[in-house]
Amino acid sequence: MQSSMTRVQECALTVIAISVVAIAIAAPFMALGPSASWRAKAAGGLTMLETLITMVRRVLGL
């Protein structure tokens, strides 16, 4: 095997990445509600995305 990652690991990372993006998009809408501005929602989403990416990197040891 020439690659250090197997196909299953690649699929798992893809699923994790998609989940992280979905959470980062959905979380601000759930937390702030419909009355918040789109800028507040975008800022909350970016903060959540950065936090989730950091957590995933720590878990994966990257």
Residue with tokens 């990416």: 53
Name the band, by pLDDT with cuts 50, 70 and 90, for residue 5. Answer: low
pLDDT digits (tens, 9 = 90+) for 43-59: 777 787 788 778 777 87
Residue 3 confidence (pLDDT) above 70: no
Q: Are 26 and 12 in contact (CB under 8 A)?
A: no
Q: In this structure, what token pair is assigned to residue 16? A: 């994790």
Distance (Å, rounded) from C-alpha 43 to C-alpha 51? 12
pLDDT, one tens digit per residue, over 14-42 is: 888 788 778 777 776 776 666 667 777 77
